[in-house]
Amino acid sequence: MTFKALAIDIDGTITNMDRRLSLKATEKLRELDVPVVLATGNILCYAKATAKLIGVCCNVIAENGGVVTDRFDKKPYISDVITECEQAFDILSREFDMEKLDSVHRRTEIVLRRDFDLERARALLNTTDLDVEIIDTHFAIHIKSKKINKGTGLVRIADMMGLKPSDFVAIGDSVNDMELLALAGYSVAVSNADDFLKDIADHVTRESYGEGTAEVIDYLVSKGMLNTRQ
Ligand SMILES: O=C(O)COP(=O)(O)O
Ligand SMILES: [Mg+2]
């Protein structure tokens, strides 16, 4: 089967843990003859700039599915879910010393530095009736609505692109990629991925980070599952 598009995570999948972009992975992405959607927990301007600089502009799922756009200068779709996240933050920050990241630009989630006791914070959140969860991507901790994720983002961007989620190959590394990989037609976890992501993936790479992404793109092209430009 030949897939019609690729949805790919940024941090840990085309970067290493220092967030250095793999030039090998970006070259492979640029050579593909299908649209590449960046699907990330990062804010929209970070994702758009990454897409532009890689040369795969501009289908973007940002903020773990909360913000979605298919064009650079278009008003993005923004989920109306920030209020519950702010309520959760108000409750948690009375108990924990928490530092917000990117809060000026973030529209649908609250993201925190990874320097507090996550399990205790989760336990406290579970005593509320907020429809909110806390996830740790290894890069940051996100207080996010349970109503949105990269899977709901994929459904939305696929619709904007006239495609189905099953038309996509998806590649990722972390807990925030679970729903994306579950909905895609073919799913890949890079070898540095969390074990629970590897368990649901159709394919796990041998190499880590961007090298793993480059490796699987070569594999998918060799099997005719993705096409490159001639
Ligand atoms: O925002 C994060 O915590 C990680 O970003 P990612 O989804 O691109 O890996
Ligand atoms: Mg990631």
Instruction: Map out the domains of the chain with their CATH numbers.
Output: 5-77+148-223 (3.40.50.1000), 81-145 (3.90.1070.10)
The Å distance, Cα 63 to ligand 1 centre, comes to 8
* Annotated binding-site residue? 218: no
Over residues 1-12, the pLDDT tens digits come to 999 999 999 999
For the four alpha carbons of 114, 120, 124 and 127, in that order, the dihedral sign comes to positive
**Has this prediction a pTM greater than 0.95?**
yes
Considering every ligand atom shown, identify the ligand nearest to the alpha carbon of residue 113 and give its number. 1
Residues with Cβ within 8 Å of residue 174, at least 6 apart in sequence: 9, 11, 12, 137, 138, 139, 193, 194, 197
* Annotated binding-site residue? 173: yes
Over residues 5-36, the pLDDT tens digits come to 999 999 999 999 999 999 999 999 999 999 99
List active site positions: 9
Does the ipTM surpass 0.95? yes
